[in-house]
Amino acid sequence: MTATARVLVVEDNEDLRVAVTTELAANGFHVDEAADLASADAALTDGVHDCVVFDRMLPDGDAVNYVHQRSQQGWTTPVLFLTARDTVADRVAGFEHGGDDYLVKPFAMAELTARVFALCRRSGRRRPAVLRHADLELDSARRQARRAGVLLTLSDKEFGVLEYLMTRPERAVTRAELIEHCWDTSTDPMSNVVDVVVRRLRAKLRGPELIHTVRGVGYRLGGGRSGS
């Protein structure tokens, strides 16, 4: 699985959505939820996901049509369709319209988790093996980060925050986002854990400053300029 892999689960049946979300979270995924295509579209516009699990028949349409439309626009995020429709024609339609995998209801949670793991690994291969920004390099597979060629000693949380920022360069990232993706669900969103980790990261990265404060929002990974 890619480090801190993020999955979007789109399912209008609340009980099934909660069950899937709980199972994936228990296996180390960061999970977002949506109950219809409109909510899914908003989540996909605002965030970066390694995989999307789509129930096919949603209150506002067939997810196959939505995925086909986004795929035509160059969207490449792996998609797993969940459906009670199990004919060969249904499965073929899912693959032809941008789906990467197809799981028929009812299904075993262990199988769903294994398929999501596989799709997230595929998504991870689409990312550069090493993330780079200015003179900063981050190798997710080796869990190593270097600044100007010097290996940095980072804690798991420091590495996770830095990786999340490096996948979103020049974008303001909220503290809530960082807590959601780098901490567990029991973390108080009003705590100062993010600020503490960022302060330690800045000290280890030294100057010129790369992690900039966005007042009232959170942080942004910017160019190697001085100041924040």
Domain boundaries, the chain: 6-126, 130-221
Residue with tokens 């995989």: 51
- E-state strands within the chain: 6-10, 30-34, 51-55, 57-58, 61-62, 79-83, 101-104, 130-133, 136-139, 144-147, 150-152, 173-174, 211-214, 218-221
What is the DSSP secondary structure assignment for residue 86, as one 8-state letter?
-
Cβ partners under 8 Å of residue 149, min gap 6 = 135
Q: What is the mean pLDDT of the chain?
A: 83
Dist CA 99 CA 109 (whole Å): 19
The domain at 130-221 falls in which architecture?
Orthogonal Bundle (1.10)
Q: What is the mean pLDDT of the segment spanning 7-15?
A: 94
Higher pLDDT, 122 or 221: 221
pLDDT above 80 (res 136)? yes
Phi, psi of 162 (to 5 degrees): -65, -45
Dist CA 184 CA 200 (whole Å): 20
Residue with tokens 């280890």: 204
- For 54-92, how does the pLDDT look when each residue is reduced to its tens digit (9 = 90+)? 998 999 999 999 998 888 887 788 999 988 877 767 677
pLDDT above 60 (res 187)? no
Residue 140 — very low, low, confident or very high, per pLDDT cuts 50/70/90? confident
Phi, psi of 51 (to 5 degrees): -165, 150
Query: Percent helix, strand, coil in the chain (nearest 5)?
Result: 40, 25, 35
Q: What is the mean pLDDT of the segment spanning 87-109?
A: 80
In 3D space, the residue among 132, 181, 176, 131 whose CA is nearest the CA of residue 157 turns out to be: 181
pLDDT above 70 (res 153)? yes
Stretch among 133-147, 171-185, 200-214 having the lowest mean pLDDT = 171-185
- For 26-37, how does the pLDDT look when each residue is reduced to its tens digit (9 = 90+)? 888 888 899 999
Residue with tokens 């626009």: 73
pTM for the structure as a whole: 0.58
pLDDT above 50 (res 225)? no
Q: Which pLDDT score is estimated for 226?
A: 36
Higher pLDDT, 123 or 213: 213
Q: What angle do CA 111, 44, 74 make, to 5 degrees?
A: 95
Dist CA 55 CA 72 (whole Å): 20
Fold of 6-126: Rossmann fold (3.40.50)
Residue with tokens 């270097």: 146
As to burial, measured by CB atoms within 10 angstroms (0-12 exposed, 13-18 middle, 19+ buried), residue 73 is exposed
pLDDT above 80 (res 197)? yes
Dist CA 81 CA 170 (whole Å): 33
Q: What is the mean pLDDT of the segment spanning 108-121?
A: 90
Cβ partners under 8 Å of residue 136, min gap 6 = 145, 146, 147, 166, 205, 210
Higher pLDDT, 91 or 159: 159
